[in-house]
Structure 1
Amino acid sequence: MDNLIKAELLKGLLGNPVHIPAWYPYDEEGSRLNDICMEQCRWYYFHRFEMKILNDILTELIEYLKDSRMLVDLGSGNATKTMLILDRLLKTHESLTYVPVDISTEFLNKTAANLKTIYGNKLEIQPIGEEYMVALRKIKYVFYSVYLLFGNNFNWFTKIIVWFGSLQSLSYGKQLDYLLEIRNTMQVDDKLLITLDVTDTTCKQTIELAYLDPEGYSENFHLNSIHRLNREMNANIDISKFKIRNELVVNSRSNNCSYVNVWIEAIENCDVHIGQLDLTREFQKGERLYLHEENGISCKYTIEQLEYLLNKASLGMEKYWRNEHVAVILVNRK
């Protein structure tokens, strides 16, 4: 894992544009800061409206999910949203298998321990501390092994894959790659449940403030990428020589989406050395270091753009619900 992280960091820091992968801030500290931002930042609308719509539609939603015995949770975090579904399913099922996936193993283990305390033996927890693509391939292998073991009884393992709010943090090309991998993991009766940002992009200020708020919640999270480089990679990045900025990029084409760029910009010439990567790089005044891959993070969609994306991955939109900011999409395999 360490070599993979170093390779991805080098690829980004030597790339054009220069960037740090969007997943890099999510160590234990970054996951904690992200949760604080979601729960306490009054400018960050997505989490509040996501919780509201999930609570509003929960009774109807469970009707679509009630036959599932396994729940895979991509980017599980503290599992607050997923527990809404677990609570309802465990009213009618004696037990469930729960597979939380998170890149931060330390944070994942804390979540798993907390859920074990809450649900006891009613929840069989199988955590996977990996990047999403690696985790999905592991999950596919596990399901294939179960199929070989149970044969025609494999339908007992009908599953839900939930991905709350994290798909939109990937670049558009990666979103399609992951959706294709998810499809390959799904059986005929499985469901994918995702939440996505459908805020009207004419509300530019509302969106930009959500991802760089005046109170500093978002900034603390985003800058964990830099602090983590300093902590773990023996870097000497002086954040006082940079200014953090963001911008909404609007895209109305059906085969793409709108997104937010977040970067730090040098306010003077400075040299950066990263010891563990054996890398020294000079930043000129005004030069940017993006805190994600090309084509942004925190994507914003129209329903038409979502339908196009899912169709490209041979997935179907079975049902959707939406409010002012959030769409909950129930997805099946075509």
Structure 2
Amino acid sequence: MTAATLDIHLTEADLTAALRGDARRGLTADPKCLPPKWFYDARGSELFEAITELPEYYPTRTERALLQRVVGEIARIAQAEVLIELGAGSATKTRLLLDALTAEGPLKTYVPQDVSDSFLRETADRVAAEYPALAVHGVVSDFTDTLHTLPRGGRRLVAFLGGTIGNLVPAERAEFLADLHSVLDPGEQLLLGAGLVIDPAILVPAYDDAAGVTAEFNRNVLHVLNSRLGADFDPAAFDHVAVWDSADEWIEMRLRATRAMTVRVADLDLTVDFAAGEEMRTEISAKFRTDGLSAELQAAGFPVERVWTDPDNRFALFLAARR
């Protein structure tokens, strides 16, 4: 077995600098906001894994079941020699792709990408042990601005699963797809997983579970600011809020101050006032209509070859080729 290799294009110092910039911009904005990527320290990652197992949280199991049903067809169409997974995490769903792509024959290399050096190293080593015939080449980076660091060579399939595309507002999605287009060669492919617009009575509880796990996950961004930037947030003084925006067709997660308070962020030499009832946006999770997202992909130079949906039309997988 060949050991996994790791390219590091994002260090702890880079992450801290990015957090400082995002926190200063977001906490001084009106209304206040923070990017969702800062949920994910070790505790945040554990909380999200717990969320995926909750009865209300249908996206993960729905995507997994859909992928299991159509993965053979994806592999036959893609004929990929290299599988790149953006935001690989623990790569649990990826094994379905790896099994199907290796069964088809041409797959030689797996490239997991993530922001966490330690987490990615663990994932890469585990996959290398399970698939000894594959070269495993991890990339520590931020997919929103370092796609150019992805290795070249071989017919590549980029997998971007989990509905993470929904965390980007339309302008950010267009920029991401344009960047991806610039680093892929004509004919190379994108496999995109996206949540679909469904009844808010099913959708909202997925982001506001009865056990309160999502609430703790949401508040974890405040723990991250406390631990990494010397802030003195009282996370218990913020309520978790999840609302469906029917105009933009996305879920917004917010933190609502339960009382007026002043927060100090020592590392930024910043004082932030919150009014009682003030809300700070921490995440959007856009949901899509298949025609609409197909049009976005087409506009970015990724004509859609196939779209698969689950029987309840809650989730979709798009296979598109770079023009």
TM-score > 0.5 by shorter chain: yes
Q: Unaligned regions of 5+ residues in structure 1, if any?
A: 147-156, 252-256
Distance 1:133 1:48 in 2: 26
Deviation at 1:32, TM superposition (A): 2.3
Matches within 5 A, 1:55-204: 55-66=68-79, 68-93=80-105, 96-120=108-132, 122-139=133-150, 142-143=151-152, 157-164=154-161, 165-200=163-198, 203-204=199-200
Per the alignment, residue 30 of structure 1 pairs with: 44
Distance 2:101 2:250 in 1: 35
The DSSP-based 3-state class of the residue aligned with 1:291 is strand
Distance 2:43 2:146 in 1: 21
Per the alignment, residue 55 of structure 2 pairs with: 42
Aligned amino acid, residue 264 of structure 1:
L
The DSSP-based 3-state class of the residue aligned with 1:132 is coil
Per the alignment, residue 224 of structure 2 pairs with: 228
Aligned amino acid, residue 190 of structure 1:
E
Q: 1:268-303: per-residue Cα shift (whole Å, max 9, x none)?
A: 1111111122111111111112113xxxx2111111
Distance 1:107 1:327 in 2: 27
Matches within 5 A, 1:268-283: 268-283=259-274
Distance 1:95 1:161 in 2: 13
Q: Could you tell me whether the CA contact under 8 Å between 1:74 and 1:163 is conserved in 2? A: yes
Distance 1:94 1:171 in 2: 36
Q: Quick check: 1:318 aligned with 2:316?
A: no
Distance 1:221 1:124 in 2: 34
Q: Quick check: 1:309 aligned with 2:322?
A: no
Worse-superposed segment, 83-92 or 283-292? 83-92
Matches within 5 A, 1:238-277: 238-251=234-247, 257-277=248-268
The DSSP-based 3-state class of the residue aligned with 1:24 is helix
Distance 1:173 1:13 in 2: 21
Q: Quick check: 1:5 aligned with 2:19?
A: yes
TM-score w.r.t. length of structure 1: 0.87
Deviation at 1:95, TM superposition (A): 5.8
Pair 1:322–1:95, CA change in 2 (3 A)? closer
Q: 1:144-166: per-residue Cα shift (whole Å, max 9, x none)?
A: xx5xxxxxxxxxx0010000021
Per the alignment, residue 154 of structure 1 pairs with: none
Distance 1:71 1:192 in 2: 10
Deviation at 1:193, TM superposition (A): 0.1
Deviation at 1:225, TM superposition (A): 0.8
Q: Quick check: 1:285 aligned with 2:281?
A: no
Distance 2:124 2:57 in 1: 26
Q: 2:214 aligns with which of 215, 218, 225?
A: 218
Q: Unaligned regions of 5+ residues in structure 2, if any?
A: 1-13
CA RMSD for the aligned pairs? 1.6
Aligned amino acid, residue 199 of structure 1:
V
Distance 1:117 1:223 in 2: 36
Aligned amino acid, residue 103 of structure 2:
K
Distance 1:71 1:238 in 2: 42
Deviation at 1:217, TM superposition (A): 2.1
Aligned amino acid, residue 24 of structure 1:
W
Q: 1:53-110: per-residue Cα shift (whole Å, max 9, x none)?
A: 11111222211122x1111100101111111111122234376211111122222122
The DSSP-based 3-state class of the residue aligned with 1:286 is coil
The ranges of structure 1 where at least 4 consecutive aligned residues each deviate by more than 3 angstroms after the TM superposition are 92-95
The DSSP-based 3-state class of the residue aligned with 2:138 is coil
Q: Could you tell me whether the CA contact under 8 Å between 2:197 and 2:249 is conserved in 1? A: no
Aligned length: 306
Q: Could you tell me whether the CA contact under 8 Å between 2:44 and 2:220 is conserved in 1? A: yes
